[in-house]
Amino acid sequence: MTDNSSILAKLNLFAKLSELHDENPFKYKSYTTAAFNLKKIKEPFVEMDLQDLLTIQGVGKSVTQAMEQIIQTGSFPGLDAWLQKTPSGVVDMLNIKGLGPKKVKVIWEEMGIDNVSDLLDACRQNRLVETKGFGLKTQAEIMKAIEFSMTSQGQWHYARLLDKCNTFKDEIKSIFPGYKFEYSGDFRRCCNTINGLVCVTSIDLMELYEYFEGLELECEVEDDEISFLFEGQIPFTIICTDSLDFERVLFETTGSKEHLNMLDYQQGGHIGFTTEEAFYQSKNLPFIVPEQREGRDELEYNLNDQHFIEYGQLKGVLHNHTNYSDGLNTLKEMAEYAKSQHFQYLGVCDHSKSAGYARGLDEDRVEQQMREIDELNAKLLPFKIFKGIESDILSDGSLDYEDEFLAKFDFIVASIHSNLTMSEEKANARLLKAIENPYTTILGHPTGRLLLMRSGYPIDHKLIIDACAANHVAIELNAHPYRLDIDWTWIQYAQKKGVWVSINPDAHEKMGYHDMYFGTLAARKGGLLTQNTLNAKNLEEFEAFLMERRKLKNLI
Ligand SMILES: [Zn+2]
Ligand SMILES: [Zn+2]
């Protein structure tokens, strides 16, 4: 595996192991910095000239050399040397969120625990509480992190699979032209994370099997199904069926059990319908798009004459970072690229001053950026850059600048980035105060979750959405495929309450805008209508929206 994230994981692991073994920080700190900064590069490292990365902070010759070796051999000598000295269970512990090398060192050396399941046991028996540096709170956090990593195994982010799945489908279609081949299951339903892949095809089972044999792909055949590990790790089942039955099998394997039950669908009892549309019609129901077939409230909200949001309908890109804070591209590059992609406006929201880790902007830097925005706006007409900020919501719920200064921005995305470990009560109170701040326009990534990595702080979604409605605050659907936060399951509630949803890429480089595609899929899954999508407004409408808000808040 030499995709970008696994290469960076190895650089990070090297730094963590160095710290674990008391190495001089001088020898490994740059690896952590490099791995952090290189995360923003979307282009595969394997296709790049790594020398081009040397301008990035933390990336020196030793780092690019290590990367080259990882690409060629899967590892590098410095990492191998540490791995030889460290039990594999201890390495696993380093991958648990919230457990840094210092704590792992105590657990391993002082408590004699060298694997994750023993650590979980020790937590359950409260043994960590008695150790110096660990309290009840840390112990509970470690336990939660271990449990979370255990349930996340065997799942993949949708976005990580999409390109690979499309390539595979194209390959199969070119080898077997004229046959039907379609993904099904949770992948076709565009779930945020995927358990495994299923597809349906009209290709003859034996022909397909022979083709896989030719590729030396290890696969199993049972009845009319072929199973194998896709990319060596993802369970993949191909169901071969008669061309006439293709739509029926596709339909049966796409919707969740709950959706099929809702339709009174009997397996095998509805033979021979030619299209999915025809089936819904026979039941006197509107056609339900595959991504919504979850068995929740999709039959209630699929009414006539409504339009679910599509990627091509987004007119603006809100919530983006430039190299003023932790983005890779300049303001000018971000703006020109947005314009070239036919967006009508761009919302620049670099980090606010408390976000020291992300080079958050103090007042002077904000004013400098605002001057540059004015200059660019004069040149890029009719395209417009809006002056925004992603203001940290501080521990007490306040925003990161004085009111007089907040008034200078066109709009503000308020997000929590620090002290993420908190009770639901505390999280609610913090968010409510930020939502009630008249300057808050959009609530950013409401739970702070990272799918398959971090479950996010607990919040009372209804309470928060109600507060957004009462205070005319829009809610972000953060489109980064690891966030997709607010979760799609809350979109209907937000819509009922009249809350605008903004599909924001949170781009840290210009190509990041395209993540809005994944945000749109999640939004459609929750049934978000175009008319309720904030950034589907055109420039004039968005300006009018901001003006209206100011009036409502008595800010002008
Ligand atoms: Zn953020
Ligand atoms: Zn952001």
Over residues 244-292, the pLDDT tens digits come to 889 999 999 999 999 999 998 877 666 667 899 988 988 889 999 999 9
Ligand located closest to 416 CA: 1
Q: Give 8 Cα–ligand 2 centroid separation in angstroms.
A: 21
Residue 340, both tokens: 């070239």
Q: Give 130 Cα–ligand 1 centroid separation in angstroms.
A: 36
Report the C-alpha gap between 175 and 173 in whole angstroms: 5
Mean pLDDT of the chain: 93
The b/e string for 325-338 (b: 16+ C-beta within 10 A; e otherwise) is bbbbbebeebbbbb
pLDDT band at 482 (very low <50, low <70, confident <90, very high): confident
Q: Give 150 Cα–ligand 1 centroid separation in angstroms.
A: 26
Please say whether the beta carbons of 236 and 212 come within 8 A: no
Ligand located closest to 392 CA: 1
Ligand located closest to 389 CA: 2
Cα dihedral 473/437/431/294 (nearest 10): 0
Q: Give 350 Cα–ligand 2 centroid separation in angstroms.
A: 7
Report the C-alpha gap between 532 and 500 in whole angstroms: 5
Q: Give 394 Cα–ligand 2 centroid separation in angstroms.
A: 15
Q: Give 393 Cα–ligand 1 centroid separation in angstroms.
A: 10
Among residues 477, 394, 484, the alpha carbon closest in space to that of 437 is found at 394
The b/e string for 81-110 (b: 16+ C-beta within 10 A; e otherwise) is ebeeebeeebbbbbebbebebebbbebbee
Share of the chain above pLDDT 90, in %: 76
Ligand located closest to 321 CA: 2
Report the C-alpha gap between 160 and 501 in whole angstroms: 25
Q: Give 37 Cα–ligand 2 centroid separation in angstroms.
A: 15
Lowest mean pLDDT among 9-23, 107-121, 258-272, 327-341: 258-272
Alpha helical stretches, state H, 125-224: 136-152, 158-175, 185-188, 205-214
Q: Give 516 Cα–ligand 2 centroid separation in angstroms.
A: 14
User: Cα 512 from chain centroid?
Assistant: 12
Helix (H), strand (E), coil (C) string for 223-272: CCEEEEEECCCEEEEEEECCHHHHHHHHHHHHCCHHHHHHCCCCCCCCCC
Q: What is the distance between the terminal CA atoms of the chain, rounded to a whole angstrom?
A: 56
Q: Give 258 Cα–ligand 2 centroid separation in angstroms.
A: 36
Q: Give 25 Cα–ligand 2 centroid separation in angstroms.
A: 29
**pLDDT of the residue at 556:** 81
Q: Give 372 Cα–ligand 2 centroid separation in angstroms.
A: 20
Q: Give 351 Cα–ligand 2 centroid separation in angstroms.
A: 7
Look at the alpha carbons of 467, 469, 472, 478 in this order and tell me if their dihedral is positive or negative: positive
The residue written with tokens 């781009």 in the block is 507
How many helices (H) and strands (E) the chain has is answered by: 23, 14
Q: Give 519 Cα–ligand 2 centroid separation in angstroms.
A: 14
Ligand located closest to 325 CA: 2
**pLDDT of the residue at 162:** 95
Mean pLDDT of 351-362: 88
Ligand located closest to 506 CA: 2
Q: Give 423 Cα–ligand 1 centroid separation in angstroms.
A: 20
The residue written with tokens 């903004």 in the block is 502
Which has more confidence, 520 or 146?
A: 520
Which has more confidence, 274 or 62?
A: 62
Q: Give 272 Cα–ligand 2 centroid separation in angstroms.
A: 50
Mean pLDDT of 388-406: 97
Q: Give 43 Cα–ligand 2 centroid separation in angstroms.
A: 20
Query: Residues with beta carbon < 5 A to ion ligand 1?
Result: 415
Lowest mean pLDDT among 81-85, 206-210, 304-308, 343-347: 304-308
Q: Give 505 Cα–ligand 2 centroid separation in angstroms.
A: 8
Based on the number of CB atoms within 10 Å of its own CB, is 227 exposed (0-12), middle (13-18) or buried (19 or more)? middle
Please say whether the beta carbons of 27 and 18 come within 8 A: yes
Q: Give 432 Cα–ligand 1 centroid separation in angstroms.
A: 17
Q: Give 326 Cα–ligand 2 centroid separation in angstroms.
A: 9
**pLDDT of the residue at 358:** 77
Ligand located closest to 485 CA: 1
Ligand located closest to 318 CA: 2
Query: Hey, is 55 helix, strand or coil?
Result: helix
Q: How many CB atoms lie within 10 A of CB 322?
A: 26
Q: How far is CA 403 from CA 202, 324, 408, 556, in A?
A: 64, 22, 9, 14
Ligand located closest to 350 CA: 2
Report the C-alpha gap between 507 and 479 in whole angstroms: 9
Ligand located closest to 483 CA: 1
Mean pLDDT of 11-36: 94
Sheet holding 474-478, edge to edge: 316-320, 345-351, 384-392, 411-415, 442-443, 474-478, 501-504
User: Cα 226 from chain centroid?
Assistant: 31
pLDDT band at 1 (very low <50, low <70, confident <90, very high): low
Ligand located closest to 326 CA: 2
Query: Hey, is 199 helix, strand or coil?
Result: strand
Q: Give 416 Cα–ligand 1 centroid separation in angstroms.
A: 7
Q: Give 469 Cα–ligand 2 centroid separation in angstroms.
A: 22
Report the C-alpha gap between 483 and 460 in whole angstroms: 18
Give 30-56 pLDDT, tens digit per residue. Answer: 999 999 999 988 889 999 999 999 988
Mean pLDDT of 384-393: 98
Triad 525, 308, 491: Cα angle to 5°: 50
Q: Give 192 Cα–ligand 1 centroid separation in angstroms.
A: 19
Q: What is the pTM of this model?
A: 0.80
Which has more confidence, 320 or 268?
A: 320
Among residues 59, 57, 33, the alpha carbon closest in space to that of 45 is found at 59
Q: Give 503 Cα–ligand 2 centroid separation in angstroms.
A: 13
Ligand located closest to 418 CA: 1
Give 83-136 pLDDT, tens digit per residue. Answer: 999 999 999 999 887 788 999 999 999 888 988 878 887 887 777 877 778 888
Ligand located closest to 449 CA: 1
Q: Give 380 Cα–ligand 2 centroid separation in angstroms.
A: 24
Ligand located closest to 320 CA: 2
Among residues 380, 324, 362, 318, the alpha carbon closest in space to that of 506 is found at 318
Mean pLDDT of 302-321: 94
